[in-house]
C-alpha cells in the first residue's frame, strides 16, 4: 500500500469544494475525488474500484499531484490563486495531433461576416447559407478555403468560445 498523498488543509478544502460544486466539470470532480480518497489513506485499488476507473488512472493523478510544480511566488504571479494553480495541476496536458486549421481570429472574422447583410456583398439572398458564407469568406480573403460545415461550426460556437454575437449597430457602441 502506498503512503497517503500530502496536501494542505486549504488544498483539501478546495478539492472538496470542486467535488460539491454543481458547475464543476466531471474531470475535475473525478480527479479531486481521487486525491481526497488517497489523502485519507485509501488504497489505489479501492479508489479505482469505487470510481470504476483503472488503477493506472489513479496512479497517474497521484503522481501528477505529487510532482506538480511548486506554486509561483505571489509577488511574481499575484493573479494566480491557489485554486487556479490546483486546477492547472489537475488539467489535461496538451495532446499531440494536428493543430486546428483555423485560429480564433478566423472564426471571429467569419462570425462578423455573418453579422453583415449578404446584400452588402452583392449576393441576391436575404440570409446567409453556410455555403454562401464559406464562399464569401474565401472571396474576402479571410481564408483560402473552408467548408460550409466548418463555417456552420463557427456560427454555432463549436470552434471559438468568444465569437461575437450579431447585434444592431446601435447596441454595439453605447452612447
Q: Under 8 Å CB-to-CB from 64, ≥6 apart: which residues?
A: 89, 90
Length of the chain: 175
Lowest-confidence region among 2-6, 73-77, 94-98, 101-105: 73-77
pLDDT digits (tens, 9 = 90+) for 122-157: 999 999 999 999 999 999 999 999 999 999 888 887
Q: Which residue has the cell 488512472?
A: 57
Which helix or strand (DSSP H or E) is residue 33 part of? helix 26-39
pLDDT digits (tens, 9 = 90+) for 54-70: 999 999 999 988 887 66
Q: Is the pLDDT assigned to residue 42 strictly greater than 90?
A: yes
pLDDT given at position 169: 47
The verdict on pTM exceeding 0.85 is no
- The domain spans of the chain are 9-90, 104-169
Long-range contacts made by residues 165-170, C-beta under 8 angstroms, separation at least 24?
165/115, 166/111, 166/114, 166/115, 167/115
Mean pLDDT of all residues in 6-19: 89
pLDDT given at position 85: 81
Distance CA 93, CA 73 (A): 23
Mean pLDDT of all residues in 98-103: 84
Question: Taking a C-beta distance cutoff of 8 angstroms, is the pair 131, 125 a contact?
Answer: no
> If you count DSSP H runs as helices and E runs as strands, how many of each does the chain have, helices first?
9, 0
Amino acid at each position: 500500500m502506498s503512503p497517503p498523498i500530502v496536501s494542505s488543509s486549504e488544498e483539501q478544502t478546495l478539492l472538496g469544494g470542486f467535488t460539491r460544486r454543481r458547475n464543476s466539470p466531471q474531470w475535475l470532480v473525478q480527479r479531486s475525488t481521487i486525491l481526497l480518497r488517497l489523502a485519507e489513506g485509501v488504497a489505489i485499488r479501492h479508489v479505482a474500484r469505487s470510481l470504476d476507473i483503472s488503477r493506472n488512472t489513479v496512479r497517474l493523478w497521484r503522481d501528477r499531484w505529487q510532482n506538480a510544480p511548486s506554486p509561483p511566488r505571489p509577488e511574481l504571479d499575484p493573479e494566480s490563486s491557489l485554486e487556479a494553480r490546483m486546477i492547472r495541476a489537475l488539467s489535461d496536458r496538451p495532446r499531440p495531433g494536428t493543430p486546428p486549421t483555423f485560429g480564433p481570429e478566423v472564426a471571429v472574422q467569419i462570425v462578423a461576416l455573418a453579422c453583415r447583410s449578404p446584400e452588402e456583398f452583392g449576393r441576391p439572398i436575404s440570409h446567409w447559407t453556410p455555403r454562401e458564407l464559406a464562399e464569401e469568406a474565401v472571396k474576402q480573403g479571410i481564408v483560402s478555403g473552408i467548408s460550409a460545415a466548418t463555417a456552420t461550426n463557427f456560427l454555432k460556437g463549436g470552434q471559438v468560445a468568444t465569437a461575437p454575437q450579431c447585434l444592431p449597430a446601435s447596441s454595439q457602441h453605447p452612447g
